[in-house]
Amino acid sequence: MSPVYSVAVLVGSLRKESLNRKVARALAELAPPSLKLSIVEIGGLALYNEDIDGTPPAAYTAFREQIRNSDALLFVTPEYNRSVPGVLKNAIDVGSRPYGQSAWSGKPGAVISVSPGAVGGFGANHHLRQSLVFLDVPCMQQPEAYLGGAGSLFDEHGKLSEKTRPFLQGFIDSYARWVALHQR
């Protein structure tokens, strides 16, 4: 029997019906049986403050455990001002602390950026990759995934367009191979 890897999916948009959340759900549906994708909610995390890390809030502890208990990481993010949204950066900071106890370290990851604009979140995608290098998250390099014109990725019923499906299928299949290759 083949192993099943748990993937913590972090969505950089808090809207329940955001395009990024829809892409994350579509990837979960397209994922091969070797991956179990679960969205880890980040909206309830207080802004990171080292002063409260001695007795961390329950949300910090639960979040860190979800990340530690996962085998891999998938980031699905919009671009805000040529970078990642503050809520996603905050989650990265919460998961990387206290110093020397990062929940991220060594977990294979991938980034997909989703934007209604033409550039497809290129800036956010690469800015996030910079943080992942420091966090010791081996990040899948190919295929790169920048989804521009995201308003056309789904039909009026929220179903993934047939034009987009092959790209996302190729991405998630490549990611499954990346995750298997980088297991400890």
Residue type, 172: I
154 contacts: CB under 8 Å, gap ≥ 6: 19, 22, 160, 161
Which CATH number is 105's domain given?
3.40.50.360
DSSP character for 79?
-
Domain tally, the chain:
1
Query: Side by side, which strands form the sheet with 35-39?
Result: 35-39, 5-11, 72-77, 109-114, 146-147
User: What was the pLDDT predicted at 172?
Assistant: 98
pLDDT along the chain (184 residues), means of 10: 92 92 96 98 96 93 98 96 96 95 97 90 94 97 93 87 94 98 88
Q: Domain span at residue 117?
A: 5-181
Distance from C-alpha of 123 to C-alpha of 26, rounded to nearest angstrom: 23
Q: Look up the pTM and report it.
A: 0.96
